[in-house]
């Protein structure tokens, strides 16, 4: 296995956050090329041909997304989704923290391709240090005429602002992000209209993830064919993977999407194996909302299509959190249920009530007060929510459903060993004592 580092190539280089270093290492060549030698259509076509699939989780091709913008639009906004809030995910953070100019270059090219006049970076509330780094880089870019009026002496002008979020997971959903950016409660919007038609301030809007945009300069610089040559078909291009949990080397790594989950955990270049004496019990390979795989399913490829074969919702954020055999699966299910119950925005009934119900059940389960029917009930409740069956506006509850559903399905044996309370009154009395 060999791989040339692309996205993280500046990480670890002294002064990687500065314009001078970024330029010295070949930065802003792509922006120069796009803005001075390529037409808008050329840029869109190149990215479309590269089949750059969105890195935020859903994997929708970015170039295709750009073509959904109405032809006769007068105002376009570009929103950069930097609300990285999926548990165990921190790849956007690494990109912004160590190589902010790469993102800015991506924004300039994407802005040019979409004819955006303003780019808003919607940044996770908890990113404090990263905010200052990125803001400093933006200031530098303005001073160097890479942002602002007539970028690089050409006709294209773009303003770029960072908007700091308020700390809600759901604001990473593109329309929740837009609502929040407008100063409203971050409740995802009903679609249609899609953001490309009516987005921010009811104007055509493109929302792209940080990592997606960081790929754009490289596609422009080296061409779509180079990009397509990396990794498996349908999942081409460089990709960042996060690995966390009881592994030797938790961190963010870059590779093509032909690696397996086992590589990510055990390979010396990545996770470096488990901590001494620990064994993989389960892994959430794509952020918790994609679902869980067991220690026997580590041969899953970390690309856009393979996770589906393991009953998962998708690749997600490609952030694997490893759970070792010292953990009780009940604490995992409770923790996951708690997260979604806390982060459900409260708009759609099934998600608002269902996530809380699942949390209450799993909490009780962990307390040793589980009933046999609770497992079926959890499965049923998780099956009664989600955007895919039509029960909710956004995908948050699909995530909640898949996480819970897959845990119950894959760890049913272990869970059944814990449930045994058949007497409802006993449960109630016990609960009153607990509460």
Partner 1 sequence: MAKLIINGVETECRDGVPVLQAALEMGLDVPHYCYHPGLSIVASCRLCLMEMKMKHPKTGELSWSPKLVPSCQTPARDGMEVRFDSEPVKRNQRNCMEFFLLNHPLDCPVCDQAGECYLQDYSYKFGEPTSRMVDQKYVNPKKDLGPHTLLYQDRCVMCTRCVRFADEIAGTGELCVTNRGSRAEIDVFPGKVLANPLQGNVVDICPVGCLLDKDFLFKQRVWHLQSADSICPGCATGCAIRVDQNNNVIYRLKPRYNPGVNDWWMCDEGRYGWKYAQSGERLRGPLMRRGEAVEPLDWLAAAGTVRFRISEIATERGANSVAVVLSPFMACEEAWLLATTIRRIAPEATLVCGPAPMVDQDQFFPDGANGNAKFTISKEKAPNRRGVERIIAALGGNTATFAEFCTQGAEGKFAGVWLSGGYPTEWVDKDLIKAAEKIQFMVLHDLFSSKLVDAAEIILPACPFSERSGSFMNAGGKIQPFDWAVNPPDGGKRDGQYLQDLAEITGLYQPAAIRAMMARQMPEFKTIHEAPEQPAHQH
Query: Which chain residues interact with partner 1 by CB under 8 A?
Result: 168, 170, 185, 187, 190, 341-350, 352-357, 360-361, 363-364, 371, 377, 384, 388-393, 424, 427-428, 431, 435
Cβ at position 377, least distance to partner 1 in Å: 6
Cβ at position 359, least distance to partner 1 in Å: 9
Cβ at position 76, least distance to partner 1 in Å: 25
Sequence-separated (6 or more) residues with CB below 8 Å from residue 237: 50, 52, 53, 215, 219, 227, 230, 231, 256, 257
| DSSP string for 77-112 | EEEEEE---STT--HHHHHHHH-HHHHHHHHHHHHH
Task: Return the CA Rg of the chain.
Answer: 22
Residue 25 or 352 having the CB closest to partner 1: 352
**Three-state SS for 401?**
helix
| DSSP string for 117-184 | SEEEEEE-TT-SHHHHHHHHHHHHHHHTTSSBSSGGGSS--BEEEEEE--S-GGGGSHHHHHHHHTTS
Cβ at position 343, least distance to partner 1 in Å: 7
Cβ at position 287, least distance to partner 1 in Å: 19
193 token code pair: 């209209």
Cα–Cα distance for residue pair 302/270, rounded to 1 Å: 13
Residue 248 or 427 having the CB closest to partner 1: 427
Residue 53 or 364 having the CB closest to partner 1: 364
Cβ at position 60, least distance to partner 1 in Å: 16
Residue 279 or 342 having the CB closest to partner 1: 342
Cβ at position 418, least distance to partner 1 in Å: 17
Residue 15 or 167 having the CB closest to partner 1: 167
Residue 275 or 367 having the CB closest to partner 1: 367
Residue 105 or 366 having the CB closest to partner 1: 366
Sequence-separated (6 or more) residues with CB below 8 Å from residue 195: 79, 174, 175, 178, 204, 205, 206, 207
φ, ψ at 251 (rounded to 5°): 165, -175
Residue 24 or 424 having the CB closest to partner 1: 424
Cβ at position 435, least distance to partner 1 in Å: 6
Sequence-separated (6 or more) residues with CB below 8 Å from residue 244: 88, 250, 319, 320, 321, 322
Q: Among all chains, which residue has been given the structure tokens 């064994």?
A: 279
Q: β-strand 319-324 against 280-284: which pairing, if any?
A: antiparallel
The three-state DSSP-derived secondary structure of 384-400 is CCCCCCCCCCCCHHHHH
Quote the distance between the C-alpha of residue 419 and its chain's center: 34
Residue 65 or 364 having the CB closest to partner 1: 364
Cβ at position 192, least distance to partner 1 in Å: 9
Residue 41 or 373 having the CB closest to partner 1: 373
Cβ at position 321, least distance to partner 1 in Å: 23
| Paired residues of 77 in beta bridges | 118, 205
Cα–Cα distance for residue pair 300/276, rounded to 1 Å: 24
φ, ψ at 83 (rounded to 5°): -90, 40
């Amino acid at each position: 296995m060999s791989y040339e580092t692309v996205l993280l190539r500046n990480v670890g280089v002294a002064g990687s956050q500065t314009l001078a270093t970024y330029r010295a290492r070949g930065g802003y060549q792509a922006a120069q090329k796009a803005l001075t030698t390529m037409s808008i259509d050329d840029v869109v076509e190149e990215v479309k041909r590269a089949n750059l699939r969105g890195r935020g989780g859903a994997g929708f091709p970015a170039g295709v997304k750009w073509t959904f913008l109405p032809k006769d639009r007068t105002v376009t906004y570009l929103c950069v989704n930097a609300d990285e809030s999926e548990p165990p995910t921190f790849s956007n953070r690494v990109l912004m923290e160590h190589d902010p100019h790469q993102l800015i270059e991506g924004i300039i090219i994407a802005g040019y391709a979409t004819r955006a006049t303003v780019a808003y970076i919607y940044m996770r509330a908890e990113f404090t240090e990263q905010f200052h780094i990125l803001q400093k880089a933006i200031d530098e870019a303005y001073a160097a005429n890479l942002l602002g009026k007539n970028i690089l002496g050409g006709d294209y002008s773009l303003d770029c602002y960072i908007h700091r979020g308020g700390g809600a997971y759901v604001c990473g959903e593109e329309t929740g992000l837009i609502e929040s950016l407008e100063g409203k409660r971050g409740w995802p919007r009903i679609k249609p209209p899609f953001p490309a038609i009516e987005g921010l301030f009811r104007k055509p809007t493109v929302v792209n993830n940080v990592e997606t945009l960081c790929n754009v300069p490289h596609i422009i610089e080296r061409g779509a064919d180079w990009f397509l040559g990396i990794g498996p078909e349908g999942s081409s291009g460089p990709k960042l993977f996060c690995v966390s949990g009881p592994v030797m080397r938790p961190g963010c790594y870059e590779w093509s999407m032909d690696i397996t989950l086992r590589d990510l955990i055990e390979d010396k270049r990545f996770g470096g194996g488990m901590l001494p004496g620990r064994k993989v019990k389960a892994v959430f390979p794509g952020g918790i909302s994609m679902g869980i795989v067991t220690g026997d399913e580590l041969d899953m490829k970390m690309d856009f299509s393979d996770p589906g074969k393991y009953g998962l919702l998708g690749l997600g954020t490609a952030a694997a959190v490893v759970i070792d055999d010292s953990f009780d699966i009940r604490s995992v299910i409770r923790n996951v249920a708690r997260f979604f119950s806390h982060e459900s925005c409260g708009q759609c009934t099934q998600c608002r009530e269902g996530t809380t119900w699942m949390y209450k059940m799993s909490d009780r389960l962990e307390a040793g007060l589980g009933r046999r029917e609770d497992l079926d009930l959890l499965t049923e409740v998780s099956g009664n929510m989600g955007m895919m069956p039509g029960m909710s506006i956004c995908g948050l509850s699909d995530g909640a459903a898949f996480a819970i559903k897959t845990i119950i399905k894959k760890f049913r044996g272990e869970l059944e060993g814990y449930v045994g309370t058949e007497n409802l009154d006993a449960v109630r009395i016990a609960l009153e004592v607990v509460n």
